[in-house]
Amino acid sequence: MDWKNDIKRVDYKAALAFMEGRVADIRNGAAQDTIWLLEHDPLYTAGTSANADDLLNPRFPVYETGRGGQYTYHGPGQRVAYVMLDLKKRYQIPDIKNYIWCLEEWIIRTLATFDVTGERRDGRVGIWVRMEPYGGMAGVEAKIAAIGVRIRHWVTYHGISINLNPDLSHFDGIVPCGISEHGVTSLHDLGRGDVTMDDLDNALRATWGEVFG
């Protein structure tokens, strides 16, 4: 496994170009499976299911991308993890649904490192937090992590994002993942202001093997 970690923010088009090349190399046996941890400057991305009406205020650059899902925000204070894996080599029978479940589990276990309970929700992509235990109103939920993947010849790319301490007002320019009835949150918003990006990266590395073996 090749772990890449960029300290400087990465241009989105450059990230796409890298992933396209790495996916081809992995498929041809010229590169290892790769996880790339990074941040982007503020931007919105549109997945293959994006509804134009969900782009409320394009205050930042908008990129069309071939990943699944709808509109997503990326920006400073958010850890993006691009995951490039050869599912055929990793699993005897490749299963996209199982892969998505594993990404969810990876996020859930990472959040648990910081005493935050992330949960799945049927019909809602990503990982969600019930806000009441963190001082919010009863019944209110918010999204703390997004998932959007693409698979080519059974090699995955794109991946996940976890909100550490992004400017949450930046999400107001879109309907995140097409879901308007729930908000967004972050580790710092939940009172975990002592958590750094290095802490989050270390947790991602530590829990990866628990899920993906």
pLDDT exceeds cutoff 80 at 173: yes
User: What proportion of the chain, given as a percentage, has pLDDT over 90?
Assistant: 87
Q: Tell me which residue range forms the domain holding 193.
A: 2-212
Report d(CA 95, CA 11) in Å as an integer: 31
Is 177 part of the annotated catalytic residue set? Answer: yes
- Nearest-10 Cα torsion for 110, 182, 37, 101: 60
How many distinct structural domains can be found in the chain?
A: 1
Backbone φ and ψ for 47, nearest 5 degrees, come out as: -80, 180
Mean pLDDT for 186-203 is 98
| Residue 170 banded pLDDT, cuts 50, 70, 90 | very high
Contact 103, 69 (CB under 8 A): no
Question: Tens of pLDDT along 19-50?
Answer: 999 999 999 999 999 999 999 999 999 988 88
**What CATH number corresponds to the domain at position 130?**
3.30.930.10
Q: Pairing relation of β-strands 71-74 and 43-46?
A: antiparallel
Contact 110, 35 (CB under 8 A): no
pLDDT exceeds cutoff 90 at 175: no
Residue 115 falls in which region: left (phi positive, over 0), alpha (psi -120 to 50) or beta: left
Residue type, 154: W
Q: What is the pLDDT of residue 68?
A: 84
Report d(CA 52, CA 192) in Å as an integer: 34
User: What proportion of the chain, given as a percentage, has pLDDT over 70?
Assistant: 99
Question: Tens of pLDDT along 110-160?
Answer: 999 999 999 999 988 899 999 999 999 999 999 999 999 999 999 999 999
Output Rg (C-alpha) for the chain, integer angstroms. 16
Mean pLDDT for 78-82 is 98
Exactly one of 177, 184, 187, 195 is catalytic; which is it?
A: 177
What's the mean per-residue pLDDT of the chain? 95
Q: What is the pLDDT of residue 160?
A: 97
Tokens found for residue 56:
């409320």
Prediction pTM value: 0.96
Return the closest-CA partner of residue 177 out of 66, 47, 39: 47
| Residue 69 banded pLDDT, cuts 50, 70, 90 | confident
